[in-house]
Amino acid sequence: MAVKSGIFWVTWANAHAQNSSRIEHLVEPFRSQAIAFIKALHDAGATVAVTATKRSVRRAYLFHWSWKIALGKCKASDATGIAGVDIQWDHGNDAASRTGANQMVTGFGLAVPPKSINAPALTSNHITGHAIDMDIIWTGTINVKDTLGKTTAIAFNGDVNANTALHAVGASYGVNKLVTDAPHWSHNGR
């Protein structure tokens, strides 16, 4: 039996639709590529802290539609369904539907910038298991081997988005930097 949108679904998602920070949840070949890149970084003396890998498609679904309905970007009846999430977005009237969705936006801590037109995405490299968020830290300069065994000296740069030498080594493993979001690497740089 469907459960109406509301705070229930925040609790539900936190228990049943969690995102992962485990590398083994990435898909091949990106998983092996990420593991190899991280090993090269470890071998060179860097500290790598993985904070996100595969994100839950069901969690993304709840983010997307709660955001759109709460902000009045669509009617509750417009929401599509997804397997494993028996949610009732339409409460029978617009005000109640928006109230339920808004409870979820607040509970999930979704950002609502002024003039927002773009809802949280329904799909992404994280959702398909092709992206990893990680902090890579070291002191001074380290020598990192690329996938061919060639060593590159890389100085630490507090702005990882600007550390093109690091990006090049990552790319040799098939792990490509997205330069707008500091922790984000993926199979295609997006």
Partner 1 sequence: MAGRILVLLIVAVSCGCQSKNSAPPPQPPVATTSTVTVSAPPLEMRLGWVTGVCFATANKSIAPGSAITVVPSDEKAPVVEGRVVGATASDAICAALLQDRRKQNGSKWSFYELKLSAPVDLGIGVTGDTRPVAGGLDLNGDGAPEKFTQCASSEGVWFRVWSGPAYQGTPLWAGYYYLGYDTEVTCPS
CA 66, CA 12: separation in Å to the nearest integer? 14
Instruction: Find the shortest distance in angstroms from Cβ 10 to partner 1.
Output: 10
In the Cβ-directed half-sphere of 98, how many Cα atoms lie within 13 Å? 9
Q: Give residues 63-102 in contact with partner 1 (rule: CB under 8 A).
A: 63
- How many residues make contact with partner 1 (CB under 8 A)? 45
One of 31, 54, 55, 68 touching partner 1 (CB under 8 A): 55
Query: Is residue 183 involved in binding partner 1 (CB under 8 A)?
Result: yes
Give the shortest CB-182-to-partner 1 separation in angstroms. 6
Least distance (Å) between residue 14 CB and partner 1 = 7
Phi, psi of 169, deg, nearest 5: -65, -45
Q: Between 90 and 125, name the residue whose CB sits nearer to partner 1.
A: 125
Select the span of 29-37, 71-79, 85-93, 124-132 touching partner 1 (CB under 8 A).
Answer: 124-132
Q: 152 is written with which tokens? A: 């590159």
127 binds partner 1 (CB under 8 A): yes
Interior/surface letters 70-96, b for 16+ CB within 10 angstroms, e for the rest: bbeeeebeebeebeebebbbbbeeeee
Q: What is the DSSP letter of 161?
A: G
Residue 112 or residue 153: which is nearer to partner 1 going by CB? 112
3-state helix, strand, coil in the chain (%, to 5): 40, 20, 45
CB atoms within 10 A of CB 114: 4
Q: How is the beta sheet containing 176-177 ordered, strand by strand? A: 47-52, 131-137, 184-186, 176-177
Which of 32, 42, 162, 164 binds partner 1 (CB under 8 A)? It is 162
- Binding to partner 1, residues 8-47 (CB under 8 A): 14, 19, 21
List residues binding partner 1 (CB under 8 A): 14, 19, 21, 49, 51-52, 55, 59-60, 63, 108-115, 117-121, 123-124, 126-127, 133, 135-137, 157-162, 178-184, 190
